[in-house]
Structure 1
């Protein structure tokens, strides 16, 4: 598999690694770097000693995140990282793996196989370390800063008190990235770190409602980028719905001070373009 060298300021990364300290000067990669891979990203990280509970959470949330266009970023270690990437590929999503060892190192059969599968499915695997350099205690925390830098959001599935995932959350705090952690049992060692993140405010609790919101937020980001393509009437209607929330035709007409006859064509255009949706006579931004 061909390996090539790139830099942290490669335009494909969309400036995401500019926040990372120490700076990322060089990276080696397998697979093709494409700017669209990094348009909307979420890191899924956690314990190498994953529980059944952690597995079930990954199997539930990864397909939803992939379905709303998120690229899944993780570290390719066994446990949470590898399962997140496996479910990403099964869901038809894009995966970005960041290694804590040399890009050409034969590490273990599972991570090597998964690296090949990620590239074969159009994703990319990155490493700050060349050749067959062995992973060491310091390389994994350094790897974590790149995972965070590449991601819009960090989701912690499970984490022990002294796990490397705690360093990932600290990197996220330094870079101002939102962190969500899955609340776990008070009796589970694999949830002690995640629960502590929530207790101390380092992370917000991840719930089903939050997962749905993240999907909607991702779409909202895309719609925000598309607003410039809307005409003035469409922009005004979207702006009104953003402020007021879901509304009926009559509420929109009254609130915006325009006639229903003038409003209906604007609603139709926005609904056809997928910016808004109607349910039982109520219109809302998708």
Structure 2
């Protein structure tokens, strides 16, 4: 029996989990010996089903239910074109191996070498603002252009925008899943997952094939996202969110944590502001991240093709952009600053919204990420 087979069998035992697995491996030199000599003290802590599984294996060997499952799991990986990587093997990502109790197993669809690239995790809210989505995509595009792989969680919102930003730059992106690698969640991102694979990236999970989207899986997924990465960029996050958990895990794992500040009126900025108060680096451009990491890779491209392709704005539109600045403002505040009548101003704001420069929020308006970059270029 090899180490991979033994690890699969151990992790199949009901109630085992990464914590008990690593406690067990402190007393045995390999997963094979741990499986063969499973101590009675641990067996008593596991559910009755696990004790039945192990004792049947000791009696029946390869004919046992446990080994039947292991063989089917390996066969399913072959059908999916997936790799199985056990902790301790040369194929296991070195950075991930450094975190406390890393996943004993990784299921990988796509390019396993992507896990060894220098990675930046980009995470944030599922219900992100247009500005947050713009920032996630722009930062990811620029960081991918500088040579980083972009790692995120394949969720709606910021995660999906981060993956797409990397693909825009023809870069590599890694999606860490809270389900089995055959269970794409959410289904709306199934096409995105295929693009990630076609672009030389990877889908990664520690969960067995067929595992569904259970709430308890996602905190475990988050520690992998941060553990694979040199640093984590928090784009938008509420004070109670999985993204904030990922950022805090990154800090505990001695990874760099970066956060994009936002409007004090945007609830999705409060998590970023909290992390900045707790020591995260405030960043305004992707170059800030490259500089903080010691220039490991090439510089971020200076041009923004997104802005260069935009038609020029007239004087009124430029004044409205300047009046909005970097904050959330009401129609009355913008009118007072620009001197525009409300009716004409609303028409201008609509044109700017259609151009992707402004977005409507409850009680007013704010610049999108593209609009904020235009404001910087204007000043």
TM-score by length of 1: 0.71
In structure 2, C-alpha distance between the alignment counterparts of 1:78 and 1:105, rounded to whole Å: 15
d(CA) in 2 for partners of 1:141, 1:106:
17
For residues 186-240 of structure 1, what are the alpha-carbon distances to aligned partners after superposition, in whole Å with 9 as ceiling and x for unaligned? 1111111111111222x1111225146258712389xxxxxxxxxxxxxxxxxxx
User: Once the two structures are superposed, what CA deviation does each residue of 1:21-66 show, in whole Å capped at 9, x if it has no partner?
Assistant: 22210111111211x6523110001111111111221232222211
Distance 1:72 1:9, change over 3 A: farther
In the alignment, does 2:276 pair up with 1:207?
no
Query: Who is 1:18 aligned against?
Result: 97
CA displacement, residues 118-144 of structure 1 (integer Å, 9 cap, x when unaligned): 111111110011122112222111101
Looking at structure 1, the residues matched to 190 and 131 of structure 2 have their Cα atoms a distance apart, in angstroms, of 26
Matched residue, 2:177: 99
Q: Shift in Å at residue 106 of structure 1?
A: 4.2
Residue of structure 1 aligned with 2:108, choices 29, 46, 61: 29
- Cα deviation, 1:102-129, whole Å, max 9, x if unaligned, reads 1111433332221111111111110011
SS in 2 for 1:218: coil
Shift of 1:101: 1.0
TM-score (norm 2): 0.54
For 1:72 and 1:174, the matched residues in 2 are separated by: 20
Question: Tell me, which stretches of 5 or more residues in structure 1 are unaligned?
Answer: 222-286
- 1:103-114 matched pairs, under 5 angstroms: 103-114=181-192
Give yes or no for contact 1:68–1:215 (8 Å, CA) kept in 2: no
Higher relative CO (Cα under 8 Å, sequence separation at least 6) belongs to: 1
Structure 2 counterpart of 1:121, from 199, 202, 208 = 199
| CA distance, structure 1, for counterparts of residue 132 and residue 105 of structure 2 | 34
Q: Distance in 2 between matches of 1:98 and 1:118?
A: 12
1:175 maps to what in 2?
253
* Residue in structure 1 matched with residue 118 of structure 2 by the alignment: 40
Of the two, which has the highest radius of gyration?
Answer: 2
The alignment status of 1:51 with 2:129, answered yes or no, reads: yes
Instruction: Look up the SS of the partner of 2:83 in the other structure.
Output: strand
Unaligned runs of 5+ in 2: 1-79, 300-379
**What's the secondary structure of 2:170's corresponding residue?**
coil
2:141 alignment counterpart:
63
> CA, structure 1 residues 22+212, in 2 after alignment: closer, same or farther (shift >3 Å)?
closer
CA distance in 1, matches of 2:102, 2:290: 34
* Distance in 2, Cα, partners of 1:182 & 1:106: 29
Matched residue SS, 1:130 = coil
Q: In the alignment, does 2:153 pair up with 1:75? A: yes
CA contact (8 A) 1:65 1:215 kept: no
Q: Which has the higher strand share?
A: 1
| Residues 153 and 25 of structure 1: CA distance in aligned 2, closer, same or farther (over 3 Å) | same
RMSD, matched Cα: 2.0
Instruction: Give the Cα separation in 2 of the matches to 1:215 and 1:173.
Output: 15
1:14/1:136 CA distance change after superposition, 3 Å? closer
Q: Is the 8 A contact 1:61 1:211 kept in 2?
A: no
